[in-house]
Amino acid sequence: MTTTVLSGTGVGRKAVIGPIAQVRASVDAAPDAVVTRDGAEVPADQLPDLIAQSFKQVEQNLKNQAAGASGSLAAVLTAAAQIAADPALVAKSQANLKAGKPAVAAIDDAVNEFVALFEKLGGMMAERVTDLKSVRDRVIAALLDQPQPGVPSLDVPSIIVAEDLAPADTAALDLDKVLAIVTELGGPTGHTAIIAGQLGLPCLVQVRGITNLEDGTVVAADASTGKVTVNPGDDIAADIQAKVEFEKQLDADTEPGATADGHTIALLANIGTAADAVRASARTDGHVVEGSGLFRTEVLFLDSPKAPSVEQQTKEYAGVLSAFEGRKVVVRTLDAGADKPLAFATQPDEENPALGVRGFRSARLHPQLLSDQLAALAQASHDTGTKPWVMAPMVATPAEARDFATQAREHGLEKVGVMVEVPSAALRARAILAEVDFVSIGSNDLAQYTMATDRLRGELSDLLDSWQPAILDLIASTAAAGRELGKPVGVCGESAADPLMALVLTGLGITSLSMSLGSIPAVRFSLRRHTFAQCEAIAQAALAGNSPEESRANVIELLAPEVKAALVV
């Protein structure tokens, strides 16, 4: 077997070896595609029964997946199974076939009729269109005896490979059998990468050629180097095993986040669901994970066709607060829009959704959504006895910060803050902090808006580099405002997960770092081997750079030898 190396961008530091499992795209079938079995064309008189069998096969597959899922994912899969079981859809497909249409066209046209009907009815029916199209793709794949599109069922622990993954696809993964995620597209700050990190999975993006590999091909995926080695030899396997052993050593340190001389900096986990909270807080000594610095509440409702009730939200939020047993939990209110569309909150006709009605701006059109969420958070706080820190995303002005703080405090929420994600908020951080109790820097979006670069465009990822001097300047300005006013300034974007950048952020005066769960040990290791004074010197060296490469190189020059040897690739 030939060993080859594919290059991409790694997210995190972990490395694994295992077989790949491809996430299949929808079958690109011509309307008049020939239906075959065992190499022979299926006779016309057998096609009606085969169409019915294909619908039945899809129905059963979806039921089986729903039985192994939970929450909103189970509900989505069950709804899709009900569509596949609809006798009217099967009958219409068979009628189209009898009228002379080829088998694929017969199914496609039948589904399109129902799509048009559902869209005309609007409301809840219109929201079923996506399920209809998903069922169509699955039935056509079954009819043509092709692999089912979407996330495969895994028989053995595998590395998931895809062109890209939607958040719903990632949510459908069987975490007990997923070793890593590798995609051909996407970017290091896109949501596939973020969710993979949140789940503690190694992730590589922009790996050209990865989707050309056959299922079952063994590869070594190393996020620290951004390399995927196809059919790795013993030397690569030994290198991967050494990295695994080093990660285990890092996990053994269970002390709170602090520098070598005792300057504390809270190390927190980014989460999206109650299950994430349970994983993050599994060791209850309070020293492994000190809480959550970013609870992405919109993740709970990505598949919801309608706005969740106050009661539903209260239950979910209480589950998260209870999991952390009184530790700090920073809750971000719904950040709907752009690359996180919610059926009940996203504007469908926005020409530039990243600059549109998203985050706190959604309250302009849907004020009840924010009011209900704040009410649910207040009730969850009362029920659990834990007081959450609550912050709004996409705040651009002091007036918006004041508006949010007023509404949150009227609901009885005491710790109120906002996200710093747009340059205007960073530049006016002192005025914004005068209105709230804390701010948290979302470095992914701050990079996107500072550099005018879509964070989903992997080919522009160099502009989104967290070491970009302009981004560092805005973080430094925000941290300085926090020190001046004596208020906490955290970072919850992916830059917090970089063990070298963590030294810079600490030296700038950032008070907490929130990241994917698997990133915490390396960050703790790096901090514990430098004094606060060293961190301050490292921060100034980073700010002196005129390019990302120069800023990072300046920092590497000042690293403690053991950190340089262990963490610099």
Catalytic residues: 191, 492
* Angle separating helix axes 103-121 and 129-143, nearest 10 degrees: 170
| Contact indicator for 523, 513 with CB cutoff of 8 Å | yes
C-alpha 36/C-alpha 33 separation (Å) is 9
| Closest listed residue to residue 427, CA positions, set 466, 380, 480 | 480
| Contact indicator for 205, 188 with CB cutoff of 8 Å | yes
C-alpha 313/C-alpha 15 separation (Å) is 36
- Tell me the β-bridge partners of 6: 228
Q: Phi then psi for 339, rounded to 5 degrees?
A: -85, 10
Whole-angstrom CA distances from 558 to 550, 551, 561 are: 13, 12, 9
| Closest listed residue to residue 161, CA positions, set 114, 198, 215, 197 | 215
| Contact indicator for 221, 6 with CB cutoff of 8 Å | no
H-only helix segments in 342-441: 362-365, 367-384, 398-410, 423-427, 429-433
Locus of tokens 């005896």? 145
C-alpha 440/C-alpha 394 separation (Å) is 11
- Tell me the β-bridge partners of 337: 340
Tokens of 26: 């929808």
